[in-house]
Homo-oligomer: A and B are copies of this chain.
Amino acid sequence: MASAPKIAKSSKTKNDALDEEAEGEKFIHQQDAIEKIDEVQNDIDRLNEQCSDEILKVEQKYNKLRQPHYQRRSEMIAKISNFWVTAFVNHPQVSALLNEEDEEALQSLTKVEVQEFEDVKSGYKINFHFAENQYFENKIISKEFHLTETGDPSSKSTPIVWKENKDLTKVRSSSGRKRSHSEQQESFFSWFLDHTDAGSDELGEVIKDDIWPNPLQYYLVC
């Protein structure tokens, strides 16, 4: 066809007409094949959804089965003074976020709980339980991550009720303890104010996926 002379449609030869017909038929066959691929694709998509649902059910089942063990682990951990602050200090990534006063404040951290939400996919919450301390009034400070109805990641935290002049997320006035004159006070607790990385919160994910599954290994590395 490439070398055939261009001719007006009205004057086409019998061969051209046959070729066009063949081309047309080929086109119809291909369209038909595409539709069938699309149907098969729908079947595959349905199977993928069923597969995800079944995996979700397995995860939910084991989340429930793990609960009493986590409970018991928390009870044992509570018997060890400074367990959590030690584990945090020994964890390379978390340690980098801790200044001296953070460590002092975290000595009152008695319990950490990671709760995966029922449907797993939609998020998780980390509860930090504190004993009476000189920094804040809260007994529990939480940060949670979830997907909004539109599928966007979002996070929220318990507001921290700081004691007077004890807000570790704020630069201390010169009347306070002597400090370097950095503009912004970097503190572990600033993480509770930061909701910019709700979709992939580094500290949240380190606690959930790395420390929580086995905190003892970080407590013992010292």
Contact = CB atoms under 8 A, between A and B. Distances in A.
Nearest to A44: B69
Contact of A37 (B29, B38, B44, B76): B76
A37 to B, nearest CB: 5
A148 B213 CA distance: 27
A81 B96 CA distance: 57
A55 interface: yes
Contact of A33 (B36, B65, B80): B80
A37 B70 CA distance: 10
Q: Which secondary structure dominates chain A's binding surface?
A: helix
A189 B36 CA distance: 31
A29 B216 contact: no
Given A30-B81, A34-B220, A45-B214, 12 more contacts: A34-B76, A34-B80, A37-B73, A40-B76, A41-B73, A44-B69, A44-B70, A47-B62, A47-B66, A47-B69, A51-B62, A58-B58
Closest 7 CB pairs of A and B: A51-B62, A33-B79, A40-B73, A33-B76, A54-B58, A37-B76, A36-B76
